[in-house]
Structure 1
Amino acid sequence: MIDASALAAKPVLEGDRIRLLPLADRHADAFHAAFQDPETRRLTGTHRDWSRAEIGAWVATCAQRTDRLDLAIEDRETGDYLGDLALSQIDQDNAHGAFRIALVPGATGRGLGPEAIRLLLGHAFDRVGLHRVQLEVFTYNERARRAYEACGFVLEGRLREALYWDGARHDVLLMAALRPAR
């Protein structure tokens, strides 16, 4: 059974090197800057150019949302913004949801993504009560695919030529992690 209050009560999740905490206005500038980076846009498939005002307005709604969980990823030592992640599209009847993550350019390749993913999956399975968490990753993002696999995600399908980027069509891979059997 899903505990919807676990989506309304925004947690702070502590890892060894990072902290996940509610996405807030103080993250909006860094969030906006990250999505101005061409590589971040490519890896996330972000076509739309969001203005700083639009990002600020959206971030301002995150704390009140009871249907999803949006968290900033911060460095535990410095408090620097490293990215964000979200648990959304919650299907209460079937106990599943969707997941996404985006790291700022300087935070990739250091194992921070898998640490953040594991923290969020633990919360999704143990506190929210989800049975399944799924995501989509582009075929050209092999680094992310390996990170997802290391965190228990399994390839389940392929959406052929679902992304049009930089003049070419790319496949989108569907992956999912299931709550560990106890």
Structure 2
Amino acid sequence: MSISEMLAAQPVLRTPRLTLVQLGPDFLDDTMAALADTDAMRLTGTRGEFTREQVLAHLSRLPGADDRADFAIVDDGGRYLGEVVLNDLDDDNLAMNYRIALTGVEMRGQGYGTEAGRAVVDWGFDAVGLHRISLDVYSFNPGAQRSYEKIGFQVEGRARHTLLWDGEWVDSVLMGMLAEDPRP
């Protein structure tokens, strides 16, 4: 099965505390609430306002997409915790970008991001057949960087002044992981 076919057939992933299911229109209200989280928007460098119709259109395109995998992170009680995504498929180089956003400050620091990230990275390398997964994290988000390092991502460099937020320039820490890298 090709990478595109694997992405289109995105499975449900399970961890000790979480279930990762395909993000889609069923998560519209949760996604709208997440977009109202100003701290999460700052941590991800997300600007702008999104209408319900725009978000619904985006979510409606996700199920069955053959160039990305968007997972809703749900705890054992069925509560939506955020999303974890592999996107920007580079099929020729077996590479994708990784991103995650947890909803609400109370979700951060609980290990949910690391747990969900490990499951998605393992699936990306072991089932999908990726060679490289990369990300960048803003320097004002050291907690996320620590989580990524626990998953196995390594710092590869720094891009200076990639985000202008509240009148201040912020650097991006560039991180990557290869299929053959150790997974803690």
Q: TM-score range by the shorter chain?
A: over 0.9
| Equivalent residue, structure 1, for 2:55 | 55
| Equivalent residue, structure 2, for 1:136 | 136
Farther off after superposition, 62-71 or 12-21 = 62-71
| Equivalent residue, structure 2, for 1:100 | 99
Deviating 4+ runs (over 4 angstroms): none
Code of the residue aligned with 2:99 in structure 1: it is R
Instruction: State how 1:73-88 maps to structure 2 within 5 Å.
Output: 73-75=73-75, 77-88=76-87
Q: 1:113, 1:34 → 2: CA distance?
A: 15
Q: 1:130, 1:137 → 2: CA distance?
A: 21
| Equivalent residue, structure 2, for 1:26 | 26
Unmatched runs of 5 consecutive residues or more in structure 1: none
Root-mean-square deviation over aligned CA pairs:
1.4
Please tell me whether residue 170 in structure 1 is matched to residue 170 in structure 2.
yes
Report if aligned partners of 2:160, 2:172 keep a CA contact under 8 Å in 1: yes
Code of the residue aligned with 1:144 in structure 2: it is A
TM superposition shift of 1:2: 5.3
| Equivalent residue, structure 1, for 2:151 | 151
TM superposition shift of 1:181: 5.8
CA deviations over 1:64-86 (Å, ceiling 9, x no partner): 311111110001x2111100011
Q: TM-score, normalised by structure 2?
A: 0.94
Q: TM-score, normalised by structure 1?
A: 0.95
Distance 1:132 1:95, change over 3 A: same
| Equivalent residue, structure 2, for 1:42 | 42
TM superposition shift of 1:9: 0.3
Tell me, what secondary structure is at the counterpart of 1:19? Answer: strand
| Equivalent residue, structure 2, for 1:121 | 121
Code of the residue aligned with 2:114 in structure 1: it is P
TM superposition shift of 1:90: 1.2
TM superposition shift of 1:41: 0.6
Unmatched runs of 5 consecutive residues or more in structure 2: none
Pairs aligned (count): 181
